[in-house]
């Protein structure tokens, strides 16, 4: 079994809190020391109490040793942050400070400034001055300023300030955690899909990541030479036999595999899942078995498996590998998901990663397969759509690679949900497994056989679908659509589902419409979607994705997030305020990739 601590061997970035102060001694600075440091302590407590790392532990904050009144103290704070592994910076102050003397100058660290809204000292004046300096120096920073005036002795953090601090910190930690990690390409380009043309320049300059590559023949080598933990394989196979129910075989009788061949396929796909995980994060057990090089892994935070067609025309498909690793549980119990993109679609893998790092929950990988208009549904099934689905639906369905969490069998407050692994109960994991059948793969698509997961997502879950696209001359562009999963009557779902491939998992998704642009109608959402795949995250996290995209200098071309929820660096407003979407493109182009 892979050592879970080994998985997190690089540790996690910390949040640095910088209390800045008016440096004038003999009365001014002394009167502000306690208030300023208490602001820093309040922010550190807020973040540690509300945010967790992917392993479930509370986020750690580091506070500068002293308030920062000038460049010497700023340098001392920066040195401490380097030693402590700080990857995100938040400056707090209730007063005027010397802007360029106290600011954080590290260009690779996401940064925000909270200027206390009080009348006794000009915290707002410092906030405006230092944000102006950040813009002038080409170091975009997020400005945080409470709407209501606070009294000087008020040590609370207002609700609107809390929301911005938490949103910024979540996105900043995602940026910091990706840096230095890998995308592991298992195979190459699948069926000419552009997203599986792995763009190493994008990963390096925008995400700070490296790219690792292995040929799919490495799976054959490891299976043939026994480069996996045999004890874990036996444990996993026994678990699969108990928990993974095999569904009916839809293939023509003459093309159906024998029971013996299906049993062999199960053994193969279980080995593939173990090997893919070991390739991503390593496995100390392999060193004990004499495979020291293979034990190291590729330090991959996300990966992609090509599969089609060079693998799947001959070997069992990768659906089990992808679905079980993307889920929050397997034969080793409940754990954090491993992220694997179907068909090595690295661009969809990236948005899976972004959604995961913001929520700590599993992600649903799917084809954006079909737009069903209300009239089409009524014509085919006689059913009139209503509720969230009244304006039409998107059928999200792909050969069984979606996380089993996507079944919606976990609950929060009695409603379907997808939760971080530390909140998932054993009974909820079992319900997700029981809601999934493993259907013998369609030989029309997968000549080598295998099994595809088949489940139906429960309705009523808030969801956000996203997609990253590469555009020549622009670079990466993000699309976001918030909406809801929808329940259909069983017979209606059955009629619609059977028109495609009923052996695959389905999510019926109703995007929230705004009446304009790409969200004028559901058809417009489908018509403007930039590629064949999308990643679906639990919750309405579009605003958090927008914040994260701004940090990475990735413009957002399409979203349905209300303007009051959007939080970008203050400098974005200097590129225009009437049309924020256009300003976003100009700002991202001007400042360029974070790591270029």
pLDDT in tens, 66-123: 999 999 999 999 999 999 999 999 999 999 999 999 999 999 999 999 998 887 877 8
Tell me the C-alpha distance between 129 and 137, whole Å: 12
The mean-pLDDT minimum among 34-38, 151-155, 231-235 falls in 151-155
Q: Reduced to 3 states, what is the DSSP secondary structure of residue 209?
A: coil
Tens digit of pLDDT for each residue in 170-207? 999 999 999 999 999 999 999 999 999 999 999 999 99
CA 136 to chain centre: 32
Q: Give the confidence band of 4 by pLDDT, cuts at 50, 70, 90.
A: low
Tokens of 593: 């990739």
Task: Please give the pLDDT value at position 3.
Answer: 46
Q: What is the pLDDT of residue 152?
A: 80
Q: Is 413 known to be catalytic?
A: no
| Residue 112 confidence (pLDDT) | 98
**Per-residue pLDDT reduced to its tens digit, 477-522:** 999 999 999 999 999 999 999 998 888 999 999 999 999 999 999 9
Using alpha carbons, select from 108, 109, 3 the residue that is nearest to residue 55. Answer: 3
Q: Does 579 appear as a known binding residue?
A: no
Please give the distance of CA 143 from its chain centroid, rounded to a whole number.
24
Which structure tokens are listed for 535? 């990643």
CA–CA separation, 596 and 583 (whole Å) = 21
Look at residue 6 and tell me whether its pLDDT is greater than 90.
no
pLDDT over 90 percentage in the chain: 93
pLDDT tens track for 294-343:
999 999 999 999 999 999 999 999 999 999 999 999 999 999 999 999 99
CA–CA distance, 490 with 377 (Å, rounded to integer): 13
Average pLDDT over residues 547-558: 98
What pLDDT digit, counting tens, does each position of 396-413 carry?
998 878 999 999 999 999
* Contact predicate 306/234, CB 8 Å: no
Residues 445, 512 contacting (CB under 8 angstroms): no
Answer yes or no: is pLDDT of 463 > 60: yes
Does 182-591 match 13-178 at the fold level? no
Task: Judge if pTM exceeds 0.75.
Answer: yes
Q: Of residues 229, 278, 367, 428, which has the active-site annotation?
A: 367
Lowest-pLDDT choice from 141-155, 368-382, 403-417, 469-483: 141-155
Strand order in the sheet with 142-144: 61-63, 14-19, 86-93, 111-115, 142-144
- Beta strands 329-330 and 364-372 are unpaired
pLDDT, the chain, mean = 96
CB 421 within 8 A of CB 535: no
The domain locations on the chain are: 13-178, 182-591
Q: Does 497 belong to an annotated binding site?
A: no
Contacts of 252 (CB under 8 A, 6+ apart): none
Q: How far apart are CA 174 and CA 205, in angstroms?
A: 15
Task: Say how many Å lie between the first and final Cα of the chain, rounded.
Answer: 39
More confident call, 445 vs 165: 165
Active site residue 249: no
In this predicted structure, the answer to whether residue 223 has a pLDDT above a threshold of 50 is yes
pLDDT digit string, tens, across residues 16-50? 999 999 999 999 999 999 999 999 999 999 999 99
2 pLDDT above the threshold of 50: no
CA 253 to chain centroid, in Å, comes to: 41
CATH of 182-591, one of 3.40.50.620, 3.40.50.460, 3.60.21.10, 3.20.14.10: 3.20.14.10
Residue 414: is its pLDDT beyond 60? yes
Which of 103-112, 122-131, 582-591 comes out lowest in average pLDDT?
A: 122-131
Q: How far apart are CA 186 and CA 522, in angstroms?
A: 35
Is 367 a known ligand-binding residue?
Answer: yes
Q: What percent of the chain has pLDDT over 70?
A: 99
Catalytic choice (205, 229, 322, 343): 343
- How confident is the model at residue 1, as a pLDDT? 38
Q: Which long-range contacts (CB under 8 A, 24 or more apart) does 187-191 make?
A: 187/214, 187/215, 187/216, 187/304, 187/305, 187/306, 187/307, 187/310, 187/311, 187/344, 188/306, 188/344, 189/306, 189/344, 190/306, 190/307, 190/308, 190/309, 190/343, 190/344, 190/345, 191/308, 191/309, 191/343
As assigned by CATH, the class of the 13-178 domain is alpha beta
Task: Measure CA 492 to chain center.
Answer: 32
Could you give the CA distance from residue 402 to residue 385 in angstroms, rounded to a whole number?
26
């Amino acid at each position: 079994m892979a050592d879970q601590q080994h998985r997190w061997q690089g540790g996690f970035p910390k949040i640095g809190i910088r209390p800045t102060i008016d440096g004038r001694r003999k009365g001014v600075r002394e009167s502000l020391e306690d208030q300023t440091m208490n602001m820093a302590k309040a922010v550190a407590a807020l973040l540690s109490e509300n945010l967790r790392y992917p392993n479930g532990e509370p986020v750690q904050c580091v506070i500068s040793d002293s308030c920062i009144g000038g460049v010497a103290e700023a340098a001392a704070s920066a040195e401490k942050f380097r030693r402590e592994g700080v990857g995100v910076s938040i400056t707090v102050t209730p007063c005027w400070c010397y802007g360029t003397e106290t600011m954080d100058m590290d260009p690779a660290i996401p940064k925000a400034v909270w200027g206390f809204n009080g009348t006794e000292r000009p915290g707002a004046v410092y906030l405006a001055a230092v944000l102006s300096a950040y813009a002038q120096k080409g170091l975009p920073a997020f400005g945080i300023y409470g709407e209501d005036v606070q009294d000087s002795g008020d040590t609370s953090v207002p609700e609107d300030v809390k929301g911005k601090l938490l949103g910024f910190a979540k996105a900043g930690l995602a940026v910091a955690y990706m840096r230095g990690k890998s995308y592991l390409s298992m195979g190459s380009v699948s069926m000419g899909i552009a997203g599986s043309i792995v763009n190493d320049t994008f990963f390096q300059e925008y995400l700070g990541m490296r790219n690792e590559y292995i040929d799919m023949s490495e799976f054959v080598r490891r299976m043939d030479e026994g480069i996996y933990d045999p004890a874990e394989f036996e444990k996993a196979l026994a678990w699969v036999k108990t928990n993974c129910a095999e569904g009916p075989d839809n293939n023509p009788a003459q093309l159906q595999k024998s029971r013996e061949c299906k049993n062999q396929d199960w053994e193969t796909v279980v080995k593939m899942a173990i090997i893919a995980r070991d390739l991503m994060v390593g496995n100390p057990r392999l060193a004990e078995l004499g495979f020291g090089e293979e034990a190291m892994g590729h330090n991959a935070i996300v990966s992609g498996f090509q599969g089609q067609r060079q693998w799947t025309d001959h070997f069992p498909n990768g659906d089990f590998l992808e679905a079980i690793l993307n889920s929050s549980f397997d034969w080793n119990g409940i754990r954090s998901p491993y992220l694997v993109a179907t068909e090595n679609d690295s661009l969809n893998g990236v948005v899976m990663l972004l959604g995961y790092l913001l929520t700590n929950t599993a992600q649903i990988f799917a084809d954006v397969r079909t737009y069903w208009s209300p009239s089409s549904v009524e014509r085919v099934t006689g059913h009139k759509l209503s509720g969230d689905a009244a304006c039409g639906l998107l059928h999200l369905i792909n050969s069984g690679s979606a996380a089993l969490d996507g079944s919606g069998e976990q609950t929060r407050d009695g409603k379907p949900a997808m939760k971080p692994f530390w909140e998932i109960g054993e009974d909820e994991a079992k319900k997700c497994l029981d809601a999934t059948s493993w259907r013998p793969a369609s030989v029309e698509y997968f000549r080598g056989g295998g099994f595809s997961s088949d489940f139906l997502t429960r309705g009523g879950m808030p969801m956000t679908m996203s997609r990253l696209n590469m555009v020549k001359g622009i670079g990466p562009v993000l699309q976001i659509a918030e909406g809801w999963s929808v329940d259909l009557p069983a017979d209606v779902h059955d009629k619609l589902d059977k028109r495609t491939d009923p052996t695959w998992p389905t999510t019926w998704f109703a995007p929230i419409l705004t009446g304009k642009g790409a969200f004028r109608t559901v058809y417009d959402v489908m018509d403007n979607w930039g590629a064949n795949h999308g990643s679906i995250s639990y919750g309405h996290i579009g605003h958090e994705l927008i914040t994260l995209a701004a940090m990475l200098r990735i413009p957002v071309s399409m979203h349905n997030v209300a303007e009051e929820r959007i939080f970008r660096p203050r400098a974005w407003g200097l590129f225009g305020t009437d049309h924020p979407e256009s300003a976003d493109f100009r700002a991202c182009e001007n400042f360029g990739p974070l790591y270029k």
